Amino acid sequence: MTDSSGPDSPRDDGIVLELARDDVERKRFLKIAGRTMGSGAAAAGLAAFIAACGGKSSKSSSSTPAASTTATTSSNAGGDLAIVNYALTLEYLESQFYDDVIRSGLFSGSTLSTLKTFGAEEHQHVLALKQVATSLGTPAAKPNGKFPLKSAGSVVKLAATVENLGAAAYLGQAASIQSKEILAAALSIHTVEARHAATLNTLLKLSPTPDGGFGRPMSMSEVLATVKPFIA
């Protein structure tokens, strides 16, 4: 009988840690991601993800493997679907938020133009994630968002909160993603969310990099608790 704890046994560490260990897989991933992001941005993004997410201890990384390759693949696909649907739910809320802000009449000129750009990009994220979720199983239902749009100043603060939250949410799930293609998509979206957040932080005269050299990830439970008040 083969020792299931050996170095060649399947491991459920997520694709980030596999990429950190395996140079061949890392190069393959960068090729996939480079088609969307550019190879330099993909390499930098992957390095930041690995650094921010950290590694697992030898104890946690030697978890009991699945009984078969088929079972492992099925489990991984289910895990990725849950993550994709989680991201899709957040993107639904973000896109609805920008739609409401644009209709509010609180903004004009270049600020309104920037908000429209951000909103259009969030809608692109929705379409992409919904397509991925459909390929894996059943996409998440679209929630009904409710947002306090009382003044231009409060809305900009809320927008910054939403975008910083989005960036932290993607970072928080990176180490659990099993598919290289889905990780490449997550990196690409995370990059845009972070740029939105930096723009809004700067508008509020806050640091564009509030957590320093490495972004702070947030767990699914932390993120969902934060967005709960914005779901009708």
Query: According to the model, what pLDDT value does residue 118 have?
Result: 97
Q: What is the mean pLDDT of the chain?
A: 79
Query: According to the model, what pLDDT value does residue 221 have?
Result: 94
Query: According to the model, what pLDDT value does residue 195 have?
Result: 96
Confidence of residue 17 (pLDDT cuts 50, 70, 90): low
Distance CA 153, CA 155 (A): 5
Confidence of residue 200 (pLDDT cuts 50, 70, 90): very high
Is it the case that residue 71 has pLDDT exceeding 90?
A: no
Query: According to the model, what pLDDT value does residue 34 have?
Result: 54
% of the chain residues with pLDDT over 70: 66
Is it the case that residue 117 has pLDDT exceeding 90?
A: yes
Distance CA 130, CA 139 (A): 6
Is it the case that residue 191 has pLDDT exceeding 70?
A: yes
Domains of the chain: 76-230 (1.20.1260.10)
Confidence of residue 64 (pLDDT cuts 50, 70, 90): very low
Query: According to the model, what pLDDT value does residue 59 have?
Result: 37
Confidence of residue 2 (pLDDT cuts 50, 70, 90): very low
Distance CA 16, CA 51 (A): 10
Structure-token pair, residue 130: 């919904």
Query: What type of residue sits at position 86?
Result: Y
Query: According to the model, what pLDDT value does residue 27 have?
Result: 60
Q: Give the chain's length.
A: 232
Pick 5 or 122 by higher pLDDT: 122
Three-state secondary structure readout of 194-220: HHHHHHHHHHCCCCCCCCCCCCCCCCH
The pTM (predicted TM-score) of the whole model is 0.71
| Tens-place pLDDT, residues 23-59 | 655 565 555 555 554 555 555 555 544 444 444 433 3
